[in-house]
Amino acid sequence: MANPEKLTLDKRLNLYRPDLAEEALRGRIEAARFVAGTPMQIGMGVASLRRQPSPTSIQLTQALPGETMHLFDEHEGWGGVKLDRDGYVGHIDMAALVPVAAAATHEVATPSTFLYPKADLKTQPARVLPMHARVAISSKEKDYAATATGEYVYKRHLQPVGSGMGDFVAVAERFLFSPYYWGGKTVHGLDCSGLVQLSLHAVGHPCLRDSDMQEATLGAALPPGEKLRRGDLVFWDGHVGIMADGENLLHANGFHMMVVVEPLSLAAERSAKTGKTITSVRRI
């Protein structure tokens, strides 16, 4: 049985090094100093969270517009941060961060939408907001919601923060044919666990970021031979997919380099040829 305690001091979820650690770890580890962190948020762009403070370092995940986090240190234009929503730790370009302003009231509920300077679809410049981008709405004007910064979003593309519900598989299906992108979690590019996470978040279900974390914490493992159904999660070492029905798997993958639906048997056979077999199937 998967044990969530194994994630307790996972460095992906806990910020600590010999010289610095997050305050929550005081008494559990040794560090030169402990820091509570400064609340910050992403501005209007999608920002890469990286393993090392360098633009060429691997992208671990993405932080979305309006997403909040805590900043623990800054060095040469890079910040050591921990995301508030899923607890992921990494380095981010300080240019992407702004102080936390008005608390977000809504988030984007469609794969993407636009932020307009006026309540008019013809106005420019319009900026793209991906699913789960968060905004503070101050008023409504016709078909648009006005943000606290004086910009506008088509109101039918928003949902109140925390109001998600419904079929997470239907959310994932809206990302069919989106390109595969390591560490991504938007319609413009996402990876296998990013697809699972954003789909579950859309319906209000907590979900960690990486596939091994998801395997350790989501749902319950099915016994061998159990008949599969829509919404079951199929795990391999380093990969996860969602059952679209009892036979077909929906997943972002590096073979097709996009999100596809294909027979689970075909995906399993292809993976077996590389030495990877299914490690578990879990039902939420």
Predicted pLDDT of residue 121: 96
Reduced to 3 states (helix: H, G, I; strand: E, B; else coil), residue 25 is helix
DSSP letters spanning 203-256: TT----SSHHHHHHHSSEEPPTTPPP-TT-EEEETTEEEEESSSSEEEEEETTT
Residues in the chain: 284
Query: Residue 7 pLDDT > 80, yes or no?
Result: no
C-alpha separations of 197 from 20, 26, 170, 218, 262 in Å: 29, 29, 13, 11, 20
The second-level CATH assignment, the architecture, of 106-160 is Roll (2.30)
* Torsion angle of the four alpha carbons 112, 258, 200, 170, in this order, in degrees rounded to the nearest 10: 80
pLDDT in tens, 82-105: 999 999 999 999 999 999 988 999
Q: What tens digit of pLDDT does each residue of 30-58 get?
A: 999 999 999 999 998 999 999 999 999 99
Mean pLDDT of 209-233: 97
Delimit the domains of the chain by residue range.
4-99, 106-160, 168-283
Task: Assess whether pLDDT exceeds 70 at residue 269.
Answer: yes
Average pLDDT over residues 132-151: 95
- Tell me the C-alpha distance between 249 and 282, whole Å: 14
| Mean per-residue pLDDT, 239-268 | 98
**CATH class of the domain at 168-283:** alpha beta
First to last CA, the chain: 15
d(CA 215, CA 4): 9
Token reading at 122? 């013809």
Q: What is the mean pLDDT of residues 132-161?
A: 96
Q: How confident is the model at residue 251 (pLDDT cuts 50, 70, 90)?
A: very high
Of 101, 32, 119, the residue nearest 65 (C-alpha): 101
Count other Cβ atoms within 10 Å, centred on residue 149: 13
Instruction: State residue 101's pLDDT score.
Output: 85
CATH of 4-99, one of 1.10.150.120, 2.30.30.40, 3.30.70.240, 3.40.50.300: 2.30.30.40
Tell me if domain 4-99 and domain 168-283 are identical in fold: no
